[in-house]
Amino acid sequence: MAYDYKEMVQRLVKALRLHTMPVAMKRCATMEALKAIPKIRINTEKTLTACQYIGQAARLGQTIGFTKDTLFGKQCVTSLGLVPKGEEFNSGSFYNGIWFGSEEDARKHQAGCTCVTFDGCAGIALAPLESGKIENPDTVLIYLTPGQMIYFINGLQYVDYEVIHATIVGESSCTDTWCKAIATGKPCVSIPCFAERRYGGVPDDEMLICLTPEQILKALEGMDNLSKHGLRYPYAPYGVANDCREGMGVSYPKGQ
């Protein structure tokens, strides 16, 4: 399906006063498909984490491509489905004594990570969503403050309601967000981990939700409807000591 990504982002900015622009992510089956993306920069020299590449797209507005050969460690390449799972990944031995206090705890962590299934994917492409350089992305990454996040989720839940389940594996939060969203097709929200903040440049006040363009449009339509009832972002502070009935009367004209 064709989308107007520029308009989509403009609507997000208007509804949420975005600080960080959304990022489109796509797994490319071949190097030819990766190289065909307009003005893509494919790293062939430095070794980076996946969240560093994402940071270049989100914070610098760059169009980035990478393969398993320029990703650091077993966690990144396996989580994104660029290599099959192996015993070293499953054991989490590289985390034992660092993030976790025992071999058993490290293994439990790895079992809790949702990874993309290995399918021979050649590389990953990232670009600002509004650029439209990536058509039909597998997922879109939207960094939001907690206040923006809950309002966005309220919009997503306006019709066809379902509970949005946030998971927190701890370190490797990519498996809670973009990897999980690609693997399940569901909107996935979590708190970015240490690596995302140190290497990916994610500020302290941001959370992350990953979802499809179709799901973004659903959230936008929902937020438009919420706005008609006086439920808008940014929140207008009402005051902790004021009688709430005047404000509530706008949103709940029939009472509650």
**The sheet that has 23-28: what strands, in order across it?**
41-42, 64-66, 123-128, 23-28, 139-144, 207-211, 188-190
pLDDT band at residue 256, thresholds of 50, 70 and 90? confident
CA gap 91, 15 in Å, rounded: 44
pLDDT band at residue 248, thresholds of 50, 70 and 90? confident
Instruction: Supply the pTM of this predicted model.
Output: 0.95
81-110 burial by CB neighbour count: b if 16+ within 10 A, else e?
bbbebeeebeebeebbeebbeeeeebbebb
Judged against a pLDDT cut of 90, whether residue 249 lies above it is answered with no
Judged against a pLDDT cut of 90, whether residue 1 lies above it is answered with no
The torsion of the CA quartet 12, 15, 16, 18, rounded to 10 degrees, works out to 40
pLDDT band at residue 247, thresholds of 50, 70 and 90? confident
CA gap 50, 217 in Å, rounded: 26
Q: What is the pLDDT of residues 159-201, one digit of tens each?
A: 999 999 999 999 999 999 999 999 999 999 999 999 999 999 9
Contact 1, 127 (CB under 8 A): no
